Chains A and B, each alone.
Chain A
Amino acid sequence: MRPALLFIALALTARAETILIRNATVLTVTKGTIQNGGVLIQDGKVAAVGKNLTAPAGATIVDGTGKFVSPGLIDCHSHTAVEGSVNEGSLSDSSMVNIADVLDPSDINIYRALAGGLTVSNVLHGSANAIGGQTIVIKLRWGRPAKDLIFEGAKPGIKFALGENPKRQGYPPDFFSALAQERRYPGTRLGVEDEIREDFTQAKIYQTKWKLYNEGLARGEHPIPPRRDLRLEPLVEVLEGKRYVHAHSYRADEILALIRTADEMGFKIRTFQHVLEGYKVAKEIAAHGAGASTFSDWYGYKYEVIDATPYNAAIMTRKGVVVSLNSDSDELQRHLNWDAAKVVRYGGLTPDEALAMVTINPAKQLGIDDKVGSIEPGKSADLVLYDKHPLSNYSKVLKVWIDGHQYFDLSQDLKDREKLVARKKELGDKEKADEEAAKKKADAEKKESDRKEGRPANNEAKPTNNDAKPTNNDAKPTNNEAKPTAPPTKDKANPNKDEADEPTQPKPTEKGAL
């Protein structure tokens, strides 16, 4: 299974070449829309954007007549490509664990997302802990090994979580029968606020110890080095501005409380994630300088989203917050452009503002807007070609480039799936033929031994049918993602799976179920 898919991927991964997309409507996002425009790709970068571009010798020409080009889409909240659980279930502060250590480059959802124009994802832990762990930004370089997925130069992050999820493990036993286990602090929003303050208090003490040690060294003394603390180190990085904080949050009170804790402790919240009540404290979020990465229109799936409104993005934008729309879902990440169209309906933002929410705005939030997020000379050639305007719900992705490499091509995909069907048939036929041959051989041997021992021929008694063998297709556990018994992953419909973060399952081990 995996090899077959990787084969497709490798077939798609061409060398970076010089490409000219011409006669297309170019949605630069930061520099307006260019009708009948072109984009020249050289050495993996956008070399030129505009009208009447000429193709250098040897350039591949992509005819964009009637088509649209946008920057690659960016998802500021993803759990795709995480092997196994997204939550380290032990401590309320598990900042020592790192998503980079568990990246699975063969997760088919990478390819599915690419096919929807996604090129960059902020891959995060779940929200079971007040501080969940270290996060990284990836490029969806399908077919490449894990180390090649990591977005070079993108600052790493750390996941915080506020509200219902991090306090669940602090509920009295049997409050959620599914979580009947030993109680863990915190069990309230008060406690979550305190947990983060306690952690940063320790981090500051730790930071001071190292400072004193280093000063001692500088004076030529021989101080005893502090004991390394892998939990506190990333928090010191946060204090020193070397690591971004991405904070899962819903209610206005908890958002404000975290801003005040951060002010007090001297660090910044880079983004509030989900932040469905962000519109109530947009002023404070903007003043702190944090971004808001929200859902376009999710509501109704748990109590803390009681005041969700799809007008959230519009209000926050108008109050000066940089807003992005994220997926938090292997499914939704496949069409963030369609999701962005909803902010035009809800709050009347412009199409450019809408598109910015899945391109340049998440790039700004992740500190990578100098490299990606718009079509400008010098930026990475992360581009998507569509048959219609990407905000149209009728649009379809035709091609996707990352760093000038073509990673998705619809016509190639169609050809490859034919190959896959043929290959499966071939293997099936071979399996059948082998079975037949084995049966024939066994029959012949039996006949021979019967003849030798003088037994009468009996063809009926052979137990050739093993009825314990699963014969239906679905019985084979070949699929790592879709739950075998509960088909298409609808992470939103099930209250316990409303977002990839939810720790309401008995055992938070299944990715996409948390």
Chain B
Amino acid sequence: MRTSALFLLAVASAFAAENDSLLIQNVTIHPVTSADIANGSVLIVDGKIAAIGTKLSARGAKVYDGKGLHLYPGLINAGTNVGLSEISSIRDTVDLDEIGVFNPQLKAEVAFNPSSEHVQIVRASGITTVLSLPSSSGEEFSSAADAPIIPGQAALMHLNGWTWEDMGLKRGAALDMLFPVIPSVPRREPAAGTPPRTYTELEREYKVKLEQIANFFEDARRYAQAKAAGKPDFQPDPKLEAMIPVIEGKRPILVRAGKERAIKDAIEFAEKEKVKIIIANPHDIGGTAELLARHGIPVVLGETLTLPLKEDDPYDSQYALPAHLFKAGVKFCFATFDVEFARNLPFQAAAAVAFDLPKDEALKAVTIRAAEIFGVADQIGSIEKGKLADLILTDGDPLEATTSIKAEFIAGKSVSLESRHTRLYDRWKDRP
């Protein structure tokens, strides 16, 4: 493993110029969107896939002979805090969850730390692109009165580059949103001095929040009208400005909705406001699969490897959720909604296969489906001519933990598979 990484470095340094080309040959190509190609070759020119075939040759191109290896598109983790959070328990290293209820103007990419250790660690698992979210919340909305509803914009980031500008594949890929819910009755006693809250109170607060959302979107629409009117006394407002692509349906809203009721509410909200939504991190979806399919609303799934929500749920209720959505005809991709376990995305997908999701669908759900859902299927997500050369070379199925990632390319550039973790290994394994 170490030796192959060194070999790659040699290859990488050999084609530093932008317009250099690279021929990866003798590999089994898994394009994801079409049939596998045995003994195939892929030609990369200027960072893009220029040709795919079985008998390619290219004069002047560097050749990478991948005999016996498999070539897959780079994987996409469609929901993480990579780049924005280093050590989750140390606040100084975390740039998530800004103060304020509506912050659509906040952009994840501007605080994406290209030197974060997580960038190298996550890409070593074959993940070439992540969606970085400005909020740490899973799917559940906090019931606090000042809890964020719109924490900001999420960015699709390539896991290679010198600056966040280099790495930004699609900025403003989605508007992050935490949909209000009526919180469950807490098991523990409320803190001393706070009176117990009744369902009626909680329901009232929830309705107030729904109204706040409706008002905010109404403000955004009026702002857009005022801007379009082009009067000289028009006053720009960064918050409302950031909402224009949303109300025009150009920027989808990634709605964190964990439970059936929030999902239904979110769909109703999307219908009413005529906005595009993506449901994120659902776990207790009840009977909403058909509803999602009927409305053509895609889903970004959270971790498959998570406990059932209710004590009397089937033990495999979360393992089987992806297969359930697939059977209902819902389009979905996988994500982890964290940092420290973002690299385990492929195993989240594999677990769903153990519980009846077809294997090729699992692979699609960590590649092309994510690209489709976030509107970048013309650039990434499969091995097709004209797309960016985001590729991984493996000795087997990339969703299996026993498989090793042997080489990786992001936009045609060979990236190192080293990380803090391998460096510690290299340093300490030979301690006398």
What's the nearest-Cβ distance from chain A to residue B204, in Å?
A: 10
Does residue B240 face the partner (Cβ distance < 8 Å to A)?
no
Interface residues of B in 155-211 (CB under 8 A from A): 182-188, 198-200, 203
Residues of B within 8 A of A417 (CB): 314
| B86 and A300 contacting across the interface, CB-CB below 8 Å | yes
**By the criterion CB–CB under 8 Å, are A470 and B199 in contact?**
yes
Please, which residue of chain A has its CB at the minimum distance from the CB of B425? A311
Contact-residue bracket for chain B: 35 or more
- The count of residues in chain A whose C-beta lies closer than 8 Å to any C-beta of chain B is 86
Neighbour of A487 across the interface among B187, B259, B316, CB < 8 A: B259
CB of B303 closer than 8 Å to a CB of A: yes
Across-interface contacts of B186 in A (CB, < 8 A): 484-485
Min distance, Cβ B188 to any Cβ of chain A, angstroms: 7
B308 contacts across to A, CB distance below 8 A: 112, 482, 488
A344 and B402 contacting across the interface, CB-CB below 8 Å? yes
Q: Which residues of A contact B70 (CB under 8 A)?
A: none
Task: Determine whether the beta carbon of B283 is less than 8 Å from that of A488.
Answer: yes
* A266: Cβ under 8 A from any B Cβ: no
Q: Is residue B339 contacting chain A, with contact meaning CB distance below 8 A?
A: yes
Question: Per-position contact with B for A463-492: 1 when CB-CB < 8 Å, else 0?
Answer: 000011111111111111111111111101
**Given A300-B87, A485-B143, A510-B188: A478 in contact with B283 (beta carbons within 8 A):** no
| Majority SS at the chain A contact face | loop
Asked whether B316 lies within 8 Å of A485 as measured between CB atoms, the reply is: no
A151 in the interface, Cβ–Cβ < 8 Å? no
Residues A482 and B86 in contact in the complex (CB < 8 Å), given A394-B350, A396-B355, A469-B199: no
B228 on interface, CB distance cutoff 8 Å: no
- On chain B, the residues within 8 Å of A507 by CB distance are 188
> Which residues of chain B from 315 to 336 have a CB within 8 Å of any chain A CB?
315-316, 318
Residues of A close to B215: CB separation below 8 A? none
Asked if B67 lies at the interface with its beta carbon under 8 angstroms from chain A, I say no
A354, chain B: closest CB distance, angstroms: 8
Distance of A382 Cα from B318 Cα, bound (Å): 26
Enumerate chain A residues within 8 angstroms of B258, measured Cβ to Cβ. Answer: 487
Q: How far is the CA of A301 from the CA of B118 in the complex (A)?
A: 12
**Minimal beta-carbon separation of B97 from chain A (angstroms):** 13
B89 is contacted by which of A111, A297, A301, A480 (Cβ under 8 Å)? A301
Query: Which of A66-74, A302-310, A358-366 binds B?
Result: A302-310
Q: Please report which residues of chain A, range 277-299, place their CB below 8 angstroms from some CB of chain B when the two chains form the complex.
A: 279-280, 282-283, 297-299
Nearest chain-B residue to A477 (Cβ)? B187
Contact B310 A496, beta carbon cutoff 8 Å:
no
> Do the beta carbons of B424 and A309 come within 8 Å of each other?
yes
Instruction: Tell me whether A111 and B185 are in contact (CB under 8 A).
Output: no
B340 close to chain A: CB less than 8 A: yes
Could you write out 8 A-B pairs with CB less than 8 Å apart? Answer: A115-B315, A115-B316, A318-B429, A332-B305, A392-B400, A479-B309, A480-B187, A493-B340
- 6 other contacts beyond A483-B187, A484-B183, A490-B306, with CB at 8 A cut-off? A301-B88, A301-B89, A331-B305, A334-B315, A482-B311, A509-B188
| Chain A interfacial positions (CB closer than 8 Å to B) | 1, 4-5, 108-109, 111-112, 115, 279-280, 282-283, 297-303, 306-311, 314-315, 318, 330-332, 334-335, 338, 341-342, 344-348, 351, 354, 391-396, 413, 417, 420, 467-490, 492-496, 498, 504, 507, 509-510
